Structures are given as structure tokens and as C-alpha cells.
Amino acid sequence: MVFNSLFASLVLALPVFSSAVLPRTTNGNDKNPFLGKSFYANSNYAKEVQQSINAFLKKGDLANAARARTIAETGTFYWLDTTAKVPTISTIVEEGILSEILHLQKTTFQFVVYNLPDRDCSAASSAGELSFANNGLNLYKNYIDQIAAQIHRFPLETFALIIEPDGLPNIVTNADPTTGVPKCIAAASGYKQAVAYAISKLQAPNVALYLDAGHGGWLGWAGNLQPAAELFAEVVGLATKGSKIRGFSINTSNYNTYNASYQETFYNYDPSYTEDLYANNLAPYLKNVSLPAHFVVDTGRDGKYGIRTDGSQWCNVKGAGFGIRPTTTTHDPLIDALVWVKPGGESDGTSNSSSPRFDPTCVDSAAFTPAPEAGTWFEAYFESLLANAVPAIPESWI
């Protein structure tokens, strides 16, 4: 207790610098933010996993409790899915600075910016707190301003931010004026403005921005690659002059394999049937519109393949397993890192049909049921992910 208090005092004694006093000779988007740093394992996810550790211990299953402890120590992204969660940035970074001191290892702090008005326009399970009809764009800008203010308190720390999973991909495929989803059609202009604002306000020497680009089974089809790149370029172009992004996040919260030779039957005509293929297929189109072709790939739940009958099955898929743990050893120069964006064990959506956020996909033949609301802890599903992990999760005994 004395030891922890001492280091806590050291952290509190560290000066908090304004970003205005630092020279802006570089941009955080010019370099891989993960190289030479650890992937920070935030305590919020660790507390959730502790529930599973306790469940295993109660059953006398010491080996799986030890494997779950390894998961708790694995770096995952923290989702800023409501404005109320924004102050958590400082809490996470302050505990991370303590960890850096203890382990003499610099850290990359990982956050998902996820609060677009009318979010999840083509589904319902992750609908958010804001809507364009109720001053949503201005409230979103305030949300982004608060994130920027939090990050600017820590100019000596490294941040990797993923911007709005599913947002722009929905505009690529679901906002056609005649055939699209009405909610996506209505949200398209607002999505572009909101994401452009986020890009503009989150520029900093210590921040790397990755726009979400869906996955290979969504935007990786031959007919979607160029429209996707053009939309991304349009949105970056709407940002303040000189604004940059590092690249793109792919497979966020999804189950596509990273680079296995196996091809799902429903991707038979998809040239991007694995995520490394998707990155390499999308890259030339990005370069043609002067965008960087750097990627992070979510491998958090892609350990098992052959568990779906359709690429549109995304909700708590049965048989899924944890995939490759976060690493910069990607064997592909386009891939900055393999990361865990979706915290394994948090539900994708509820199977309760009476819920306002119910989506039928969460009760289809591939879905693990019964399931709680999106984002809440799903103990049975966590245990399944652990059992099906590829590679197997090693045990941590201390």
C-alpha cells in the first residue's frame, strides 16, 4: 500500500503540459504509434474480466482462471461511446503513467471514438445517445472538444484513436438515395461533417488517427473499393487544411480471419476474403486519392473460422475465439499492428426482442443466446471465446 501510494504521489507530481507549449514539428499520424511501446491494458476491462476469473475460481477451474488473468493483462481499446465516458481518458492515462514508471516501458493508449448522432444507422443494437434532430451535430462537436482537451493534458504520451466504427462504411453501402437504408440516407451528410470535425480537432504530435473502414466482407468487394476510398478522401478533405490521418482500422468487432489460407464459402467471389487481402486490395485506391495506406486489424475474436454461414452474421457469433494477441509483428508492411479493438466478453447486442435496441441478427442461427445489451458483460460468451482461442491463451499465475 505504501509502495503504491508513493508512485501515485509521483504521478500526481508530474507536470501537466498544455499542448500549446510543445513545438508542432511532427504529426502523430506520420509514424506507427505502436512501435517500441506496450499496448496498455486498462483497468476497466480488467475489472470486467475479473468477474470471469472469479467465476472460474468458484468452479475450481484454476487453469482457466489463469488464462483469463492473461486476458485481463492484454491491451484493449476503450470505447468512448457516451459523452459521460470522456473523463475516463485522464483516469486511464494517469494509471498508465504509473505502469510506465513501474515497468520502464512506454505505452500506447488506445481509444475508440464512437458517438456519432444516429449511430448504427443500418442496425439497432448499438444505437447511441445523440440524434441529428436533437442538436446532435453540435453535441457531437462538444464531445470531440472534450476528448481533445483530455488528450492535450498528456502531450508526452502516445494515443491511437479509431474514429467511428461502421460510420463511413454505412455511407458507402447503405446511403444510396434510391436503394439505401432511410436512416443512413438521412445521416450521410451529418456523418461526413462529424467525422471531418473529429479529424480536425484531434490533430496532435502524439495522436494517431485511424478511420474505420469496415472489413473485407463489407467494403472489400471489387465494386466497393474505389467508392470507399473516394468517400474517405472526401471526408479528410472536409477537415481543416493540413489535417492528416494515420490510416484505417479494419475488422473492428468482426470475425474475419487475418491471413489464413481458408476461404469462407460466402466470400467465394470476394477478393478480400481475409483482412490482409483487404488491406492490400484497398491500399492502391487509397494511394490514388492521396490517403495513407496504413492499417490496424482487430484480431480480438477472429481465432476461429468456419463458424458462420453468412458474412452478415456479426452478433455474438457462436464458436468464436480470441485471436492473435496485440502485436506489431504483422508480416505485412501495410499493417501497423494487430490489435484488440472489441473487448472480448462485451456483448454485441441483446437477444431480448422487446428491447428498443434489439436487432434480429442477435437471434439468428449463428448468434449465441441469450445475450445482454450491447456493451455489457456477457460471461458465458467470454468463457466460449477463451475456450476457442487460437492460438491458445497462456496461463498467468501472478
User: Helices 136-152 and 182-201, interaxial angle, to 10°?
Assistant: 30
Whether 145 is a known active-site residue: answer no
Residue 235's region, left for phi above 0, alpha for psi from -120 to 50, else beta, is: alpha
The response to whether 47 counts as a known ligand-binding position is no
**What pLDDT, on the 0 to 100 scale, is given for residue 260?**
86
Instruction: Establish whether 81 is an annotated binding residue.
Output: yes
Q: What is the mean pLDDT of residues 182-207?
A: 97
Local structure of residue 395 (DSSP, 8 states): P
What pLDDT is recorded for position 26?
65
The catalytic position among 118, 166, 302, 359 is 166
Cis peptide before 271 (omega within 30 of 0): no
Query: For residue 372, is the peptide bond before it cis, meaning its omega torsion is within 30 degrees of 0?
Result: no
E strands, 227-333, are 247-250, 295-298
pLDDT of res. 125: 72
To the question of whether residue 234 is assigned a binding role by annotation, the answer is: no
Give the rounded percent of residues in the chain with a pLDDT score beyond 70.
93
The residue-averaged pLDDT of 225-245 equals: 98
Mean pLDDT of the chain: 93
Residues 96-115: what's their mean pLDDT?
A: 95
| Rounded-to-integer distance, Cα 60 and Cα 54, Å | 10
Any known ligand binding at 346?
A: yes
**pLDDT given for residue 127 in this prediction:** 77
Consult the annotation and say whether 302 binds a ligand.
no
Write down the domain spans for the chain.
38-349+378-388
First-to-last alpha carbon distance for the chain, in angstroms, is: 18
- Tell me which architecture the domain covering 38-349+378-388 has in CATH: Alpha-Beta Barrel (3.20)
CB atoms within 10 A of CB 35: 11
Asked whether residue 14 carries a pLDDT value surpassing 90, the answer given is no
288-292 long-range Cβ contacts below 8 angstroms, 24+ apart = 288/229, 289/229, 289/230, 289/232, 289/233, 290/233, 291/229, 291/232, 291/233, 291/236, 291/245, 292/29, 292/244, 292/245, 292/246, 292/247
Looking at residue 324, its amino acid is I
Model confidence band, residue 193 (pLDDT cutoffs 50, 70, 90):
very high
Of these residues, 118, 212, 348, 364, which one is catalytic? 348
348 is annotated as an active-site residue: yes
Ligand-binding site membership of 215 (annotated)? yes
pLDDT above 80 (res 258): yes
pLDDT at 11: 45
Q: Tens of pLDDT along 342-397?
A: 999 999 999 999 999 999 999 999 999 999 999 999 999 999 999 999 999 999 99
Tell me the whole-structure pTM to 2 decimals: 0.93
Please give the grid coordinates belonging to residue 136. Answer: 446532435
116-161 pLDDT tens trace? 999 999 887 777 999 999 999 999 999 999 999 999 999 999 999 9
Confirm whether residue 359 is marked as ligand binding. Answer: no
318 near 381, Cβ under 8 Å? no
Residue 398: per-residue pLDDT: 74
Task: Write the pLDDT tens digit of every residue in 268-313.
Answer: 999 999 999 999 999 999 999 999 999 999 999 999 999 999 999 9
CA 108 to mean position of chain CA atoms: 14
Which triple of cell numbers denotes residue 230? 473516394
Residue 314 annotated as part of some ligand binding site: yes
Residue 13 banded pLDDT, cuts 50, 70, 90:
very low
Query: In this structure, how many other beta carbons lie within 10 angstroms of the beta carbon of residue 241?
Result: 6
- Centroid of chain to Cα 127: 16
Catalytic residue among 120, 270, 302, 336: 120
